[in-house]
Amino acid sequence: MMLAGEYLAELGSGSRVMLVFSDMSEELPAGVERELDPGEFHNVRVAAVHVKRLRDDTADPTHYRERLAGWEERVTRAGAAEWRTFLDPRLLPAYLEEVRG
């Protein structure tokens, strides 16, 4: 996501949307941390699409909701203009048309 944010900033396009296809679970080696800088996603709309539910999420859906809420907090703190989640990827074309302006 950090590299995608840098790429979008470098492009200088009028509309910046980052689509994330992931389970949104960080699997970093022990002792490694990644922090998004404030402003890293300035004017970027971040949309997590069809986020895969993990085994723990099935047992307790609170895990899934907390993971998404945590990412929402992180990307908005990094300056994202928006955080959205889409369970149905068929909704993407309408969303992308909406934000294109």
Q: What pLDDT score does 42 carry?
A: 92
Q: Are 14 and 53 in contact (CB under 8 A)?
A: no
pTM (2 d.p.)? 0.86
Euclidean distance between CA atoms 91 and 12, whole angstroms: 26
Considering Cα of 92, then 94, then 95, then 100, what sign does the dihedral take?
Answer: positive
- For 52-72, the pLDDT digits (tens) are 888 888 788 888 899 999 999
For residue 79, the tally of other CB atoms under 10 A from its CB is: 16
Return the CA Rg of the chain.
Answer: 14
Q: What pLDDT score does 71 carry?
A: 93
- In which residue ranges of the chain is pLDDT below 50? none
- Which residue, chain included where needed, has tokens 């048309």? 97
Q: What pLDDT score does 32 carry?
A: 86
